[in-house]
Structure 1
Amino acid sequence: MTAPRTVLGPDEIARALTRIAHEILEANQGPDDLVLLGIPTRGAHLAQRLADRLTGITGIDFSARVGALDVTMHRDDLRGRPTRASHPTRIPLDGIDERVVVLVDDVLYSGRTIRAALDALADLGRPRAVRLAVLVDRGHRELPIRADSVGKNLPSARTEHVSILLEEVDGRDGVTIESATGSTETGDGGAA
């Protein structure tokens, strides 16, 4: 592997999340019926950050409108990677029926994680609409899925590894990319 190159620092991530929060409000024509569901691990932290920004922008407390959606059992790669850790699904108290659900993830890559999220969501209720917000879209889609809000489009080679670093998990914020010649990538994200 080559040395990682930083493509987003803490300030750029903060600006991207603020822009995404405004895009979510604009697309929804306001805050009514919005629910944010982050895909663990980093997507859940990003959803919480977006909820904090939406609270700041609207003055409406979004803490009860944010949750996490575990997609582990809906993934199509369980046979190849059966030791995946699952995370608890947390749905806001008012549920998701007839609400606008914004799925939040760190990296959009093949689209398979989002397909699994849609399957998991269908088990929980029937939203009025589902939207997708991601911090990084690196391309290489295998399914017809696209994000409604993207922090950064980051064209990459399949042999590159994209890492999302968040303060809550990694002790610092950043997005890096490095050559990972010879690696085999599966699913969304870097090599995950």
Structure 2
Amino acid sequence: MKEIMNSEQLSRTLKRMTHEIIERNQNLDDVVLVGIMKKGYPIAQILKDNLKRFADIDVDIYPVDIQAYRDDIKSKDQPVNQKIEVQDKNVILVDDVLFTGRSVRAAMDAINDHGRPKQIQLAIVIDRGHRELPIRADYIGKNIPTSKNERVIINMQYQTVYIEDIK
């Protein structure tokens, strides 16, 4: 495994992304954070804490489970009955790594089941390319070109980012 971001670099990246969110959203009262389970939600929590510290605003945050919405995984699960308040809100969808775009598409389907947001913005820590769907992030921590034989891992426990070869 090769480390591409240590804890200090990851922290600075998330702070920068928070400042970009503040700059792009004139009315932060309309902003809600929706973190894709499992990796996106802890990142959304850090963004929420940063928004409180830098803009003195306490935004709502929701986890979203996308398993039942995936089109590339055969799941017989019904969508989890989640309470997500998105009607007429500016939703910032948060995930760790943007790869094919399929997780983001599934998350947007899940969000739309709970109402019609004014807008959905996408915040991603690592954009590694290889898109299969026409999806792009509004807030990107870092662009890391990778091969399809590599995997990007964000370890939130140690706050580090690694690339490893898939064997």
TM category, shorter: over 0.9
Could you state the TM-score of these two structures normalised by the residue count of structure 2? Answer: 0.93
* Cα displacement (A) at 1:127: 0.3
Question: Any gaps of 5 or more consecutive residues in structure 1?
Answer: 182-192
SS of the residue 2:8 aligns to: helix
Alignment-derived partner of residue 116 in structure 1: 106
Alignment-derived partner of residue 154 in structure 1: 144
C-alpha distance after superposition, 1:20-65 (max 9, x if no partner): 1111111112413000000010100000110000000111223xx1
Residues 159 and 179 in structure 1, CA contact (< 8 A), matched pair in contact too: yes
Alignment-derived partner of residue 46 in structure 1: 43
Supply the distance in 2 between the matched residues of 1:114 and 1:17 (Cα, whole angstroms). Answer: 19
RMSD over equivalenced CA pairs, Å: 1.7
SS of the residue 2:113 aligns to: helix
SS of the residue 1:143 aligns to: coil
Larger strand proportion, structure 1 or 2?
2
SS of the residue 1:124 aligns to: coil
Supply the distance in 2 between the matched residues of 1:36 and 1:6 (Cα, whole angstroms). Answer: 28
Supply the distance in 2 between the matched residues of 1:27 and 1:140 (Cα, whole angstroms). Answer: 27
Indicate how the Cα distance of structure 1 residues 83 and 73 shifts in structure 2: closer, same or farther if over 3 A, else same.
closer
SS of the residue 1:155 aligns to: coil
Alignment-derived partner of residue 56 in structure 2: 59
Alignment-derived partner of residue 33 in structure 1: 30
Supply the distance in 1 between the matched residues of 2:114 and 2:70 (Cα, whole angstroms). Answer: 16
Alignment-derived partner of residue 71 in structure 1: 66
Question: Any gaps of 5 or more consecutive residues in structure 2?
Answer: none
Aligned length, in residue pairs: 166
Indicate how the Cα distance of structure 1 residues 83 and 122 shifts in structure 2: closer, same or farther if over 3 A, else same.
closer
